[in-house]
A and B are shown apart, each in its own frame.
Chain A
Amino acid sequence: MAGIFVYAETKEGEFRKATGEILSRCRGVADATGEPLVAVVVGPAPEDAPRRLAPFGADLVLHVEGPGLEVYTSQGYAWAVTSCLAGRQPAALFFGNTPLARDLAPRVAERMDAALHADCTGLAWEDGRFVFTRPLYGGKLLARAVSRPGHPVLATFRPNSLGVAEVAATSPAYERVQVEVPAGSVASVVKETIRQVAGRVSLQEAEIIVSGGRGVGGPEGFRVIEELADVLGAAVGASRAAVDAGWISYDHQVGQTGKAVSPNLYIACGISGAIQHLAGMSSARCIVAINKDPDAYIFKVADYGIVGDLFQVVPALTAELREMLVRA
């Protein structure tokens, strides 16, 4: 075994939230086993990557770059990750469960002949091996799983679920690895990327999510949801009913056929609490429900609830929080 590797993904020049969470959570295992803790950055990276990853306890930042890695392609990046790690006998390679990692990690796992524990919400080190906790069946069950010995251990972790562990800062070494993606090994060509929203908080990384459902009544009804989200620096989520009605785009959908999220605070407005919706958000630390129907199921899972018309309650809450957060 020679290293616990964490795929350090960047977005708009910043490391993803899960990168720090995973690194810091693995620091203890690295100490216990004597394995180096390595952050792997592929393609363009911030100049000061080692400094940025120091607070999370990384020993080494491995920067893989070269022709063919300027923009992400799954085949190119999968090749780069595996060829860079090939000689290093990695014990483990972990990713944040981002859309990019979901596209990349399965190929890497196949190339490394390894299991991939996907969308884990828990990580433990027991009897000399990693044990992963994963929600199954829309979060109805939790599985504890391991990799068979003799192969690297791969996993992706849901952002926010591990949290950042308190670790002593390190001064990571920096190693540049120059590679060249072999000609012809990337068959797909990205023609265009159509940005729909820039600079918005990612739903899966957001610490606070304000979601609207059918009760919001229409696309303009989402304005009160967005106003509350803006005050809180939160992301906007939605139920499938709101998405199917065309009031908001599918990338906002939370649930079994949308995104699974683990924020600190989830505020559900005009959402009844269908089982498929709960599948996506029941691992939130704190749930607030605002609904005019006192019998709505969402109140059975919410930590706090207000029975009332969301068009009165939500603006009142926005005003209250604006004042409170300004004072603070």
Chain B
Amino acid sequence: MRIVVCAKQVPDTEARVTVGKDGRSIDETGITFIINPYDEFALEEGLRIKERLGGQATVTMVCVGPPRAEEALRTGLAMGADAAVHVWDDSLAGADAAALALVLQAAVTQLGFDLILCGRVAIDDASAQVGLRLAERLGLPHANAVTKLEVQGSKLVAHREVEGGVEVVELPLPAVVTAQKGLNEPRYPTIPAIMKARRREIGRPGLAGLGLDAGKVADACRSEVLSLAPAPARKGGRLVAGEPQEAARTLAHLLREEAKVL
């Protein structure tokens, strides 16, 4: 079984993110990047499926991202991925979800796959659409926000989070699955595995190797960021003093009379 995991690098959740000089992207100076947590769930699931199949599977990690994203792929290899593919071209900076789906389609098609695993959402742009666009482009079914996954021969049984409950869906392979928190607890790579991953080959097809070029990427973009700005900072308000009863009474009145939220 050929499993492809699409993963992205994102700023650490603790990172202080500021706007770059162009006013449309972030200033990456000093930022630590991590594998998007949801993509890590996807990768971990790929590795577990392989283990459950007694090793009768390959797990390939694909990442579209600037040179720094190589680190994410090395981490993936150290966790146990069999192969890693890094796609980058300067024309991809600022590419939107529509363009990324095009690039990933080319990459996964070239690799060949039975199952594509993605994160449900990336925590940087919170756009939550690349995986599903990819499924649509490939004409494949998908299961979104999956918290439990089982491969049964040529089909998948997935538990997916829906509002107020869980939906159990069955879908034939090949298919796209997006990982939700709760699917698994990603492993930590061991030190020897990290050392070994440093020396591993990483595939770098380049846009040309995928039958694409800068023009095609630009043509596929459907959105444009006009500007980025820091969100208005919240200021601390007032502390309501007094014994619990008294403080609670004052607060209740403030919420109604001053804040007008009740």
Which residues of A are interface residues toward B (Cβ below 8 A)?
11, 74-75, 78, 98-100, 102-103, 105-107, 109-111, 113-119, 131, 134-148, 151, 186-198, 200, 202, 208, 232, 250-251, 253, 256-258, 260, 264-265, 275-276, 279, 282-283, 285-288, 294, 299-309, 312-313, 316-317, 319-321, 324-325
B1 adjacent to chain A (CB < 8 Å): no
Main SS of the interface on chain A?
mixed
Among A102, A113, A279, chain B packs the most CB atoms within 10 A around the CB of A102
B111 adjacent to chain A (CB < 8 Å): no
Which residues of B are interface residues toward A (Cβ below 8 A)?
11, 13-17, 19, 26, 37-38, 96-98, 101, 123-133, 135-137, 140-145, 157, 161-172, 175, 181-182, 221-231, 234-240, 244-245, 247-249, 251-256, 259, 261-262
Q: Is the CB of A144 within 8 A of B225?
A: yes
Q: Which 6 A-B pairs have the closest CB atoms?
A: A115-B223, A115-B222, A106-B129, A106-B132, A187-B141, A316-B248
Q: Is the CB of B101 within 8 A of A189?
A: no
Among A111, A114, A147, A306, chain B packs the most CB atoms within 10 A around the CB of A306
Q: Which residues of B contact A151 (CB under 8 A)?
A: 222
**Separation of A134 and B127 alpha carbons in the complex (Å):** 10
Among B124, B169, B236, B249, chain A packs the most CB atoms within 10 A around the CB of B236
Q: Is the CB of B231 within 8 A of A140?
A: yes
Closest residue of chain A to B161, judged by CB?
A: A251
* Whole-angstrom distance between the Cβ of B131 and the nearest chain A Cβ: 8
Q: Is the CB of A141 within 8 A of B248?
A: no
Q: Is the CB of B244 within 8 A of A312?
A: yes
**Separation of A285 and B251 alpha carbons in the complex (Å):** 16
Q: Is the CB of B126 within 8 A of A305?
A: no
* Whole-angstrom distance between the Cβ of A282 and the nearest chain B Cβ: 6
Given A195-B165, A275-B14, A316-B248, 17 additional A-B pairs, CB 8 A: A105-B129, A107-B135, A116-B97, A136-B124, A137-B11, A141-B230, A143-B228, A190-B167, A193-B165, A194-B166, A197-B164, A301-B236, A303-B238, A303-B259, A304-B238, A306-B248, A320-B245
**Separation of A119 and B124 alpha carbons in the complex (Å):** 13
Q: Is the CB of B170 within 8 A of A141?
A: no
Q: Is the CB of A286 within 8 A of B259?
A: yes
Q: Is the CB of B143 within 8 A of A188?
A: yes
**Separation of A321 and B14 alpha carbons in the complex (Å):** 36
30 contacts between A and B (CB under 8 A): A100-B162, A100-B163, A110-B137, A113-B222, A134-B125, A136-B126, A143-B228, A187-B141, A188-B169, A188-B170, A189-B170, A193-B167, A194-B166, A194-B167, A196-B164, A202-B163, A256-B123, A257-B37, A260-B126, A265-B262, A285-B261, A301-B236, A303-B238, A304-B251, A304-B254, A306-B251, A312-B244, A313-B247, A321-B262, A324-B253
